Structure 1
Amino acid sequence: MKATEPWLPYPAGSAASVVTKKAGSDGGYGVRDDGADSTRQGELQRQLSGRHLNFIAIGGTIGTGFFLSTGTALTKAGPAGCLISYVFVGTMLWSVMVCLGEMATYMPTAGAFSAYATRFVDPSLGFAVGWLYWFAWAITYALSLTASGLIIQYWNPDVNIGILIAVFWVAFTLINYLPVGIYGELEMWLSSLKVITIVGFIIFAICMAAGAGQEGVLGFKYWHDPGPFAEYLVEGATGKFVGFWAVIIQAAFAYQGAELVGVGAGEARDPGKTVPRAIRVTFWGIMALFVVSIWLMGMVVPSSDPNLLSGSSNASGSPLVIAAQRAGVKVLPDIINAVLLTAVLSAANSNVYSGSRVLVALAEDGQAPGIFKKTNARGIPIYAVGVTAAFGLLGFLNLSAEGSKVFNWLLNITAVAGLTTWGSTCLSHLYFMRALKAQGIDRSSLPYISRFQPYTAIYGLFFNILVALTQGFTVFMDWNTSDFFAAYISLILFAVCWAGHKLWYRQPGVRPEEADLVRGRYDSHEELAVAAGPV
C-alpha cells in the first residue's frame, strides 16, 4: 500500500519500511518500502538535523549585508539609534519565528509560507507570497554569484567576472543536486566561518574599546562625540527620527533569511523536536550576533568616519576593516575579504535550496506546474532546482552597462519579498488558530506552543505591514518618479499577483471549519509505532 501524503516521518532511503498515515482515510496506517517508491512526485526526504536547520537559516541571514551595510546604518542613525533599530526589528523577527514554530511543527512543509497562506487564509495570498518569495531567492542567486566575482577582484582586479560567475554557477547548482544531508553539512561549515569571524570581531572590539588599539581607551567616547544619534536627510529631532526609521528598514532586510528554518522543516528529521529547537537557537543566535556586533561597532568606529560611506563591494568598505585600520591592524582586510567570499558563496548555496523548495510547495498546492513536484531517487526536486538555478545566469547582465540597469530593477522587485513573507506568516498563524478552534482541536495539543498569542502575531503583522509600506519613505521627501517605482515595484507586483489570481480563479477565502489541517501533518515516531507496531 502506498502512502498518499507528501511527507515522510522517518529518514528516507533506509532499508527499513516507513509507516505513513493515509490522508483522508479512517486513520489507518499503510506500510511502504522506500526503495520501491523513492521517486514518487512531491516526496522530499527527511535528512536535515536541527544543526542543519540552524546553519541554513544563519547562512541565509548573515551575508554581505551584515559585513558591509552596517557601516551605512551607523552613519544614518548613530550608535544608539542603530542599536535600538536592530533590537526593535529583532522583536519583529521573534514574533514571526514563534508563529512559524507553531505551524511548522504541526505541519512541516517545504516552502511553508505559501502553503500556510493558501491553506489557512486565501489561495490568492499564498500564490502572491510564494511566487514573489521564490523570485526573490532566484534573483538573489544571481546577485550572490556576481558579488563573489567582485570580491575576488579585490585581490586580482584583472580577473574576468564572467568566468567566475560561470564557475560558481556550475558548482553550486551541482551541489543542490546532491542529497539534502550533504547540502546541510556544507552549509553548516560555510556558515560556521561567518559565525567565527563575528565572534572574533566581538573579542577584538572589546579589546580595542578597552585600550588595546593605537587610539587608547575608547569606551563610549563616540557616543559623546559625534553623539548617540545622527541626523539623516534633515536636521534636528526630525532628522534623528528619519535616521532611526531608515535603519529599521535596513535592519529588516538584514534579518531576512532567518525564516529559512520554515523552508527546511519539510526535510527535517523528527520536526516536532528539531524545528522548535532550531527556531530558538536560530533566533537567539542571530539576535545576539547582530545586536552585540552593532553595539561594539558603535564603540570602536565613529558614525562620522568618511570610510563608512565608501560604497565599496569588497572588504575595504566593511566597518570591521575600518575598526582594524583605526586600531593599526593591517592584515585584517584580506581576512575579512575571504570571509565575505565565504558569505556570498554560502548565500548562493541557500538561494537555490530555498527557492526550489518554495517552488515545490507552490506545485503541491496547484499554483505552479505539477512537474516541479517530481523528485529523483535522492529526494531532490530536480526541475524545481533547475529552474531556480537558471535564474543565476542573469548575473551575466552585469557585464554590460545597460544589462546592469535591468538587473538592479530585478533586485528592487525582491526587496520587500521578505517583509511580505513575514507578514503573511503572522496572518496565517492568526487564521491557523481560528481553524484549530473551529475544528475542535485544542491548541495545547500542538507540538510547540508560543507565548502571548494572538498578540504576538498581531504585533508582527502590524509592524511588517508598516515597514513594507514605509520602506521607500525618502522618495516622498525628495520626489523622483523613477525612485518611487524602484522602491515600491515589489509591492505593486505583489498586489498584481494577488488580484490577478483572485480575478482568474474566483476562489474565496478559506473558511476556518474547512481549512486543511491534515495534509502534511506530522505524527511522532512513538504515535506511529503504537498504531502500527514495531518497524
Structure 2
Amino acid sequence: MSESAASSERQPLMDPKQSATVSSHYGATADDTENAYGAAGLGGAHHAAQDGDLITRSEAQNLKRGLAQRHLSMLGIAGAIGTGLFLSLGSAIQTAGPLGALLGYAVIGLVVCAVQFALGEVAALLPVTGSFVRHAEFLVDPALGFAVGWNLVYGNILSIPAEITAICVLFQFWTDITPVVWIVIFIVLTSAVGFAFIRVFGEIEFTFAMLKILLVVFLIILGLVINLGGIPGTERIGFRYWHDPGPFVELLPIASGDWGRFLGFWSVMTGAVFSFAGVESLAMAAAEARNPRRAIPKACKRVFARIVIFYMLAVLIVGMLVASDDERLGDDSGTAATSPFVLAASAAGIPAIASVVNAVVITSAWSASNQSLLSGTRVLYGLALKGQAPKIFLRTTSWGTPYVCVGLFSLFMLLSFMSLSDGAYTAFWWLVDLTAAGVLISWSTILFNHLRLKMALRKQGIDPSRLPWHNSWTIYSSAIALPMCILILLTGGFTTFCEGQWDTATFISSYLDIPLVLGAYLIWKFVKKTKLVSLDSIPLIDALEQAEQYPDEPEPKAHSAWKVISWIWD
C-alpha cells in the first residue's frame, strides 16, 4: 500500500510525470508549500489559498489512468439508463398522459444537454478527481465545494444499500429465497469492484451499458411491432391512446382543466430528472481517465445525444402502447411487472419479456451501486486532498484505489440489512429521502461553475477559444438551464402544499436537502472564513498554460471490427 502525499505536498502539476514552475501570475513555484492554488488546503487567510487547484501531486502519482474514452461514454449512459427508463415510464404516462410525459422528458433532456456541455467545458480545463466539487472550489468558493461534496458523499453512501435493497425486491420476482443471501452476495461483489483496478470498473460498466442499450433498442423495436399489429393475434394500436383517453392527464384532485393538465406535465419533470441522474458521474474520476481533456468532452457530447434519443423514443413508444388510465400502471411492486413494455408484451402473448427486463434491471441496480461507489469515494478523496476530510482517506493501494474511502463505503453497505425489519426499513428510506433532491443541486452547481468560468474569462480578457473545449452558445444554455433547475427544485413537492394533499415523505424528499447543503456551506464558511473567489483572481492563465503545454495524445482509431457498434460511444 502507498499513502498519498499530505496536504503540504499538494502542488499543481504541469504534467503527471513532472512538476514544473507555476505561472508567475502569483510568483510561485512547484516547490512552494503554499502557492496560488491553496496548497495549505484549508481556505487560508489570503486569497491565494482559496482551495482551488489543478491536478495535485497526490492524485497524479497515486491514482492510475485506467479509463478510456469509451469507458467514460458508457459510464454516462449506464448511469442514466436504469430503472427510471425500464420501470417508471408507465407512471409518467399515468400522471401526465403520452404527450405530457413526452414534453416533460424533452424539457429535462434539454437541461441535461446544457449540464453535459457545461461539465465538459470545465472538466476539459480542470480534469480533477471529484469533478464539479473541486471546480466549485476553484471557480466559486471552497465552502460550496465542501457543502456539495459532503452532500454527494452522504447521498452515495446511502444509495448503495438502497440499490442492494432494490435488487432483493427484483429477485422476489423469481424466487422466495431469503433476501439475506442477495444482500451478502451484492455487498461482496460491489466491494470487490470498488477495491479492484479502475480498469475493471470501467469494463464492468461498459458491459452493463451495452446490455442496457441492447435491451432498450429491443424494447423500442418490439413496442413498435406490437403497436403496428405485427404480432399474430394483435390489432394495430397506432395513436389510439393519444385520442382516448387523450394526450394529457389532469392532475386530479389538485386541479382540473388546462391548469390541471399543465400541473400533470410539470409533475413529470421531477421524475424525469431522477431518470437522467447519473450522466454527471462520467467526470468524477477525471484524474483516472486517459487523455481526459479530449475524452471527457467527447463523452459528454456523445452521451447526451444517445440518452436523449433512447429516452424520447422510449417515452413515445410507451405512450402508444399503454393507455394513461390503465390501472396496472399504478402497480408499485418494484419488479418488472410494473414495466409498461412488459404489460404490452404480455398482452401480445409474449410473457417471457418480463424475465428479460427483470434480469437487465437487476444489472442496472448493481451498476448504479457501482457508480455510487465510484462517485462517492472519488469525491471523498478529493475532499481529503483539500483538507475538508480526514487525511486518512488519501491512502491508496499500489494499483491506485483509495482503499480507505472504499472501506468506509463498504461498511455502510451493511445498512442493506435494515430492509429485513419493517421499522428499520422505514427509517432507512427516510434517510435516503434526505438527499433525493441532490441531483438538481449537483446540476445547478455544474451550471453555476460553468457560468463563473465564462464570466472569469471575460473579466480577465481571455478568449474563450483558448479552452480545450469551447462552444459559443453554452453561456446562454447554462444561463437558461440554471434557473430552470432551481425552479424544478423549489416546485418538486408542490403537491404537498395543496389542500388535503400533505405527505411528509414527499416534503422531506423534495426539500430537506436544501437546508442541509446551505447549512454545510455556512458552517464551513464561518469556521474557515472562506471568501467568494473574485473573477479577476481565478488563476485561469495557469490552467490554460498547463492545458496548452501538455495536450492529450490523439485517441487511437477504433478497429474495423468495432466500427459496427462503436458509434454508440465514439
Give 2:376's match in structure 1, choosing from 335, 355, 377: 355
Q: Which residue of 2 aligns with 1:494?
A: 517
Distance 1:66 1:296 in 2: 12
- Verify the 8 A CA contact 1:7 1:44 in the aligned structure 2: no
CA displacement at 1:526 relative to structure 2: 5.9
TM alignment of 1:174-189, pairs within 5 A: 174-189=192-207
* 2:458 maps to 1:437: yes
Q: 1:146 to 1:118 in 2, by over 3 A?
A: same
> Does 1:474 pair with 2:495?
yes
Q: Percent identity?
A: 34
1:523 aligned onto 2:523: no
What is the rounded CA distance, in whole Å, between the counterparts of 1:286 and 1:296 in structure 2?
15
Look up the equivalent residue of 1:491 and give its one-letter code: I
**Tell me, which stretches of 5 or more residues in structure 1 are unaligned?**
11-17, 31-37, 530-535
* Residue in structure 1 matched with residue 217 of structure 2 by the alignment: 199
Between the aligned partners of 1:391 and 1:303, the Cα distance in structure 2 is 40
Q: Which amino acid in 2 is paired with 1:123? A: P
Q: CA separation in 1, counterparts of 2:551 and 2:28?
A: 12
Query: Cα 1:154–1:514, aligned 2, differ >3 Å: closer, same or farther?
Result: same
Deviations 1:333-353 (A, max 9, x none): 111111111111111111111
Structure 1 position 152, deviation (Å)? 1.1
For 2:154 and 2:144, the matched residues in 1 are separated by 15
Partner of 2:40: none
CA distance in 2 between partners of 1:415 and 1:206 (Å): 34
CA distance in 2, matches of 1:312, 1:451: 47
Residues 245, 324 of structure 2: 8 Å contact kept = yes
- The alignment partner of 2:439 has SS state of helix
> 1:527 offset after TM fit, Å?
5.3
Deviates more, 1:319-328 or 1:77-86: 319-328
Deviation larger for 46-55 or 434-443: 434-443
Contact 1:372/1:384 (CA < 8 Å) preserved in 2?
Answer: yes
The structural deviation recorded for 1:436 is 2.7
The counterpart of 1:393, out of the listed 399, 414, 427, is 414
Deviates more, 1:430-439 or 1:205-214: 430-439
Matches within 5 A, 1:256-275: 256-275=277-296
- 1:14-93 counterparts in 2 under 5 A? 18-23=17-22, 43-93=62-112
Q: Which amino acid aligns with 1:308?
A: L
Cα gap change, 1:423 to 1:152, in 2 (>3 Å):
same
1:504 aligns with 2:527: yes
User: 2:480 maps to what in 1?
Assistant: 459
Deviation readout 1:250-301 (Å, 9 max, x if unpaired)? 1011111001122132221111211111111111111111111001110111
After TM superposition, the structure 1 stretch with the greater mean CA deviation from structure 2, 62-71 or 78-87, is: 62-71
Aligned counterparts of 2:393 and 2:178: Cα–Cα separation in 1: 34
Flag the 1:51–1:278 CA change in 2: closer, same or farther, 3 A.
same
> 1:451 deviation in Å?
3.2
Post-superposition offset of 1:380: 0.9
Higher mean alpha-carbon deviation, 498-507 vs 146-155, is at: 498-507
Distance apart, 1:133 and its partner CA: 1.6
Deviations along 1:479-500, whole A, 9 cap, x unmatched? 5372433431111211211222
Aligned residue for 2:154, secondary structure, equals helix
Q: Does 1:216 align with 2:235?
A: yes
1:439/1:513 contact within 8 Å kept: yes
> In the superposition, relative to structure 1, how do residues 410 and 443 fare at CA in structure 2: closer, same or farther (>3 Å)?
same
Contact persistence 1:113–1:129 (CA under 8 A): no
Q: Summarize the Cα distance change of 1:47–1:292 in structure 2 as closer, same or farther, 3 Å threshold.
A: same
Offset of 1:519 from its aligned partner? 6.8
Deviation at 1:160, TM superposition (A): 1.4
1:149 aligns with 2:168: yes
CA distance in 1, matches of 2:510, 2:194: 32
Please name the residue that 1:171 is paired with. 189
Task: Report the equivalent of 2:361.
Answer: 340
Q: Give the letter for the 2:123 counterpart.
A: A
Q: Say which SS state the counterpart of residue 378 (structure 1) adopts.
A: coil
Q: 1:404 to 1:29 in 2, by over 3 A?
A: closer
Instruction: Tell me the CA shift for residue 524 of structure 1.
Output: 6.2
Deviation at 1:153, TM superposition (A): 1.5
Change (3 A) 1:328 1:528: closer
Residue 119 (structure 1) aligned to one of 120, 138, 160: 138
1:382 Cα deviation (Å)? 1.2
Match for 2:227: what amino acid? A
Shift of 1:74: 0.7
Which of 90, 102, 106 lines up with 2:121 in the alignment? Answer: 102
Residue pair 2:129, 2:284 contacting (<8 A) in 1 also: yes
Which segment is superposed worse, 191-200 or 452-461? 452-461
Instruction: Please give the TM-score of this superposition, normalised by the length of structure 1.
Output: 0.90
Equivalents in 1 of 2:552, 2:165: separation in Å? Answer: 48
CA shift, 1:28, in A, is: 9.1
Q: Is the 8 A contact 2:396 2:403 kept in 1?
A: yes
Query: Structure 1: how far apart are the matches of 2:179 and 2:136?
Result: 40
1:313 to 314, 318, 334: 334
Bigger drift between 141-150 and 496-505 goes to 496-505
Q: Residue in 1 aligned with 2:178?
A: 160
1:381 aligns with 2:399: no
Measure how far apart 1:7 and its partner are: 6.5
Q: Tell me the SS of whatever aligns to 2:512.
A: helix
Instruction: Choose the corresponding residue for 2:271, options 244, 247, 250.
Output: 250
Match of 1:13 in 2: none
Partner SS state of residue 247, structure 2: coil
Comparing 430-439 with 101-110, greater Cα deviation is found at 430-439
Residues paired across the two proteins, number? 514
Contact 1:42–1:373 under 8 Å retained in 2: no
In the alignment, structure 1 residue 290 sits paired with structure 2 residue 290? no
Q: Which residue of 2 aligns with 1:533?
A: none
- Of residues 481-490 and 388-397 in structure 1, the stretch that sits farther from structure 2 once superposed is 481-490
After TM superposition, the score normalised by the length of structure 2 is 0.85
Q: Structure 1, residues 109-142: CA drift from partner, whole Å, max 9, x if none?
A: 1211111111111222111111112211221111
d(CA) in 2 for partners of 1:361, 1:521: 23
1:188 aligned partner, one-letter code: F
Task: Tell me if the contact between 2:435 and 2:509 (Cα under 8 Å) persists in the aligned partners.
Answer: no
Could you list the runs of 5+ residues in structure 2 that have no partner in the other structure? 32-56, 554-570
| Structure 2 CA distance for partners of 1:334 and 1:527, relative to 1, 3 Å | closer
* 1:410 Cα deviation after fit: 1.2
Cα distance in 1 for partners of 2:301, 2:508 equals 37
Question: How far 1:108 moved relative to its partner?
Answer: 0.4
Task: Give the whole-Å Cα distance in 2 for the aligned partners of 1:405 and 1:427.
Answer: 35
1:5–1:519 CA contact under 8 A, matched in 2: no
**Comparing 87-96 and 384-393, the one that deviates more:** 384-393
Query: CA distance change for structure 1 residues 207 and 525 in 2, over 3 Å: closer, same or farther?
Result: farther
Higher mean Cα deviation, 66-75 or 492-501?
A: 492-501
The aligned counterpart of 2:436 is 415
1:465 partner amino acid: I
Residue in structure 2 matched with residue 14 of structure 1 by the alignment: none
Paired letter, 2:547: D
